[in-house]
Amino acid sequence: MGIISTVRAVRAASERELVEAAWPRLAALAAEGVTTLEIKSGYGLDVENEIKMLRAIRELARLTPMRLVPTLLAAHAVPPDSNRREYIERAIGELLPRVREERLADCVDAFVETIAFDLDDARRLFTRAKDLGFGIRVHAEQLSPSGAAALGAEFGALSCDHLEHLDPSGARAMAAAGSVAVLLPGAYYFLRESHRPPVGLLREHGVAMAVASDLNPGTSPIASLLTCLHMSVLLFGLTPEEALLGVTYNAARALGRQDLVRWRRDGARTLRSGTCRNLSSSPTSSAG
């Protein structure tokens, strides 16, 4: 299994080794003009190794001029040495408080899916995260219609990622909450999916769409935001303007950094300056 293979590699690596492994990926993204980068944890699957990943992200932020936005992917997969309920208990009781105490992440994320965690798990996790002052993100509706997007919206999620199986009720909830839909064409391509995100539904309900790479070793090993920009038009049917907004203004909105983007209008709307977003599940991992 790809995630577990990466978990073994992350657990075996030191913090310094994680930083060094991530550096070429950051350099590749910077060379394409990426200025702001979200990095998720989620490949430690225990308290100490999730903390180690987040500390590596903090060290990377110290070393690079890029803006790094750390996210605690607290519920990514069930660890091989535990079960789902036990892991959620540790995440709620130990992991979240430690991450908040060290100020290692801005948001908490969860993967809600039949192969990962259910809505009850995510609700408990998000309730505790909100109590501690974290923002919320959610991996939603990737492989099946789970209701995760609506749950994320209920908690005011900044972003809902994937969304291949989003339904109208989820789109309405996201629109009401102002949650950004983060489309991940790299994962769609590498997993050979056939069920595309419902872009028309997102347009209909006025849900902002961001585009990101989902750079990770198992399902989207692509360190090129420009390639994903191209894929979002070719595979998902975004217009060029939607795609450009997806890696600039809407990407910044998904990170809560929309203040970094400025606009001007010269007849047609054009982008003047801004920030590109690359969603990276684990640039510090090398196996998968």
Q: What is the rounded average pLDDT of the residues 6-32?
A: 96
* Within-domain flag for 287: no
* Cβ–Cβ under 8 Å, residues 140 and 162: yes
The pLDDT of residue 81 is 87
With 0-12 / 13-18 / 19 or more C-beta atoms within 10 angstroms meaning exposed / middle / buried, residue 154 is middle
What are the residues facing 135 on neighbouring strands?
107
Cα gap 161→149, rounded to integer Å: 9
What domain range includes position 207? 2-280
> If DSSP codes are grouped into helix, strand and coil, which group holds residue 209?
strand
Let me know if residue 286 belongs to a domain. no
Q: What's 22's domain CATH number?
A: 3.20.20.140
**Would residue 263 count as lying in a domain?**
yes
Mean pLDDT of 208-229: 96
* Contacts made by residues 55-64, CB under 8 angstroms, sequence distance 24+: 55/15, 55/102, 55/104, 56/15, 56/18, 56/19, 56/22, 56/284, 57/104, 57/284, 58/104, 59/15, 59/19, 60/19, 60/22, 60/23, 60/26, 63/19, 63/23, 64/26, 64/30
In a domain, 66, yes or no: yes
The reply to whether 164 falls in a domain is yes
For residue 18, is it within any domain? yes
Total domains present in the chain? 1
Residue at 54 is within a domain: yes
C-alpha–C-alpha distance, residues 288 and 13, integer Å:
14
Tell me, what DSSP letter sits at residue 179?
Answer: P
H or E stretch covering 174: helix 168-177
240: its two tokens = 């060029």
Separation between Cα atoms, residue 214 and residue 57, nearest integer Å? 16
Radius of gyration of the chain from its Cα atoms, rounded to whole angstroms: 17
What average pLDDT does range 47-54 have in this prediction? 98
Task: Write down the pLDDT at residue 281.
Answer: 41
Model confidence at 3: pLDDT above 90: no
In angstroms, the CA 76 to CA 237 distance is 29
Q: Which amino acid is at 223?
A: A
Helix (H, G, I), strand (E, B) or coil at 278: strand
Report CA-CA distances (Å) from 60 to 11, 19, 39, 69, 213: 18, 6, 10, 11, 19
Q: Is residue 122 part of a domain?
A: yes
Report the DSSP beta bridge partners of residue 117.
112
pLDDT at 40: 98
pLDDT, average across residues 149-164: 98
Work out the average pLDDT over 7-21.
97
What percentage of the chain has pLDDT greater than the value 90?
A: 86
**Tokens describing residue 215:** 């750079």
Residue-averaged pLDDT of the chain: 91
The predicted-structure confidence for 64-95, as pLDDT tens digits, reads as follows 999 999 999 999 999 988 999 999 999 999 99
Q: Specify the pLDDT at position 274.
A: 38
Predicted confidence (pLDDT) per residue in 230-284, tens digit:
999 999 999 999 999 999 999 999 999 988 776 554 444 443 333 445 544 443 3
